[in-house]
Amino acid sequence: MLFESLSEKLNAAFKKLRSKGKLTEADVKEAMREVKLALLAADVNIKVVKEFIKKTTERAVGEQVLESLTPAQQIIKIVNDELCEIMGGTQSKINISSSTPTIIMMAGLQGSGKTTHSGKLALYMKKQGKRPLLAACDIYRPAAVKQLQVVGEQAGVPVFSMPPGTDAVTIAKEAKKHAIKHGNDILIIDTAGRLHIDEELMKELQNIKAAISPHEILLVVDAMTGQDAVNVASSFNKALDITGVILTKTDGDTRGGAALSVKFVTGKPIKFVGTGEKIDTLEPFYPDRMANRILGMGDMLTLIEKAEAAFDAKKSAQLEKKIREQSFDLNDFYEQMLQMKNMGPLDQLIGMLPGINTSALKGAQIDNNMLNKVGAIIESMTPKERANPEIINGSRRLRIAKGSGTQVSDVNMLLKRFDAMKKMMKQISGAGGKMKKGKFGFPF
């Protein structure tokens, strides 16, 4: 989970501050020393750390803060503000051109996830009501064109390519003509990468840029490379004057140094983050929301957006009606499970809730396959059993367990949780939508 180790260390430092009540300047400086060590351990660029600590300390030792009734809370707010500012302050969106197509040129080293994220970006733009076109301009890497065609198919977006031997600049020019002719309002150019930065790579990218005048040049960098990601961003920015960054593999980076350093070092914002391997795991980067997550304040806005995207409005209305009529059955339960599964891994979702200690999640051992297990159990039931769970006796439970590859105890637990959920829903409907006092387990 991104920033996991940093979040733990910062919260430990702030816990000490909260325990002291009234603070002295020495208390603040000691806390800032711990914050500094936490940032360095998270692989944040040293220049960024120095600037951050300087600005935060200056604000935190002010008379207004130290003399306030809640000095620790005010210091945490200052840290939150400065974290947000270092990462860009506000969300930076794609610059949509007034004349079509808007051309987005993707750049990056080989292995950073450039081709995959070209497809992810195409799907994201498609969901925004655009008609994107992908262009295969990586003419060197074996099967690069085929890979782009595969991700294009997953995204439901067309891919423009030309016969082997055609140079990248010509492909880019022809792709632009094709987009104009076929009404594609977004053109995403997937360019070649190298295992390292060299003159040949930069020259080709500069030639493509000169030929098609892209409105956006997005650099794709691997978050897990830490300081190297910042160095790569600096080099590409000098050569191409990039407009933004897509940070990939953030789900595998627990430190987060790149996310905190890129904007400060290059002056260019992080526009998107890749949060998983699937084609739909690309999210806009919000500095304020990320700062909240780092400090354990949660990210309810992103959680709500994920829920809105995953849950079908018509089905939700039908569910609400069933709850009112108290006719909710295992078919409805399973439908909700499937929709919840679309929101992403459970550990990521729970980590967005305010006040959740991410280190505690390790001990909880949240099983992201739990939804699959429940689904297998319900699918092993007959339609009659799903509609009337009360008929599921001992022999039926044994059959269902064998059919789903689970234990009878798993079937029993599911039915117990479902029964508790039904009782809870009965109370909700009986109270006119207001839940009465009572304790019920998580329904899964």
The CATH number of the domain where 281 resides is what?
A: 3.40.50.300
Interval 395-408 mean pLDDT: 93
Does residue 354 have a cis peptide bond before it, meaning omega lies within 30 degrees of 0?
A: no
* Each residue's pLDDT tens digit, 338-388: 666 666 665 555 555 544 455 544 444 445 567 778 888 999 999 899 888
339 located within any domain: yes
113 located within any domain: yes
Q: State yes or no: pLDDT of 188 exceeds 70.
A: yes
- The answer to whether residues 423 and 330 belong to one domain is yes
Q: State yes or no: pLDDT of 312 exceeds 80.
A: no
Domain that holds residue 413: 303-430
Is the model more confident about 366 or about 142? 142
- The answer to whether residues 403 and 282 belong to one domain is no
Q: State yes or no: pLDDT of 437 exceeds 50.
A: no
Type of residue at 14:
F
- The answer to whether residues 227 and 127 belong to one domain is yes
Among 260, 278, 296, residue at a domain's last position: 296
* Each residue's pLDDT tens digit, 92-110: 899 999 888 999 999 999 8
- The answer to whether residues 342 and 197 belong to one domain is no
Among 244, 270, 296, residue at a domain's last position: 296
409/138 Cα distance (integer angstroms): 53
What's the pLDDT at 443?
Answer: 40
227/42 Cα distance (integer angstroms): 10
444 located within any domain: no
26/201 Cα distance (integer angstroms): 51
Interval 398-415 mean pLDDT: 92
Q: State yes or no: pLDDT of 313 exceeds 80.
A: no
Q: What is the CATH number of the domain that holds 54?
A: 1.20.120.140
Mean pLDDT of the chain: 81
- The answer to whether residues 319 and 243 belong to one domain is no
435/429 Cα distance (integer angstroms): 8
Q: State yes or no: pLDDT of 408 exceeds 90.
A: yes
Q: Which of 32-46, 162-176, 341-355 has the highest mean pLDDT?
A: 162-176
115 located within any domain: yes
Q: How many CB atoms lie within 10 A of CB 7?
A: 23
* Each residue's pLDDT tens digit, 212-262: 999 999 999 888 877 788 888 899 999 999 999 998 887 765 567 777 888
- The answer to whether residues 177 and 258 belong to one domain is yes
What's the pLDDT at 69?
Answer: 63
- The answer to whether residues 49 and 132 belong to one domain is no
Instruction: Enter the pTM of the model.
Output: 0.68
- The answer to whether residues 251 and 130 belong to one domain is yes
Q: Quote the number of domains for the chain.
A: 3
Is the model more confident about 425 or about 31? 31
What's the pLDDT at 299?
Answer: 46
Cβ-defined contacts of 40-43 (< 8 Å, 24+): 41/5, 41/6, 41/9, 41/255, 42/3, 42/5, 42/6, 42/255, 42/256, 42/257, 42/260, 43/226, 43/227, 43/255, 43/256, 43/257, 43/258
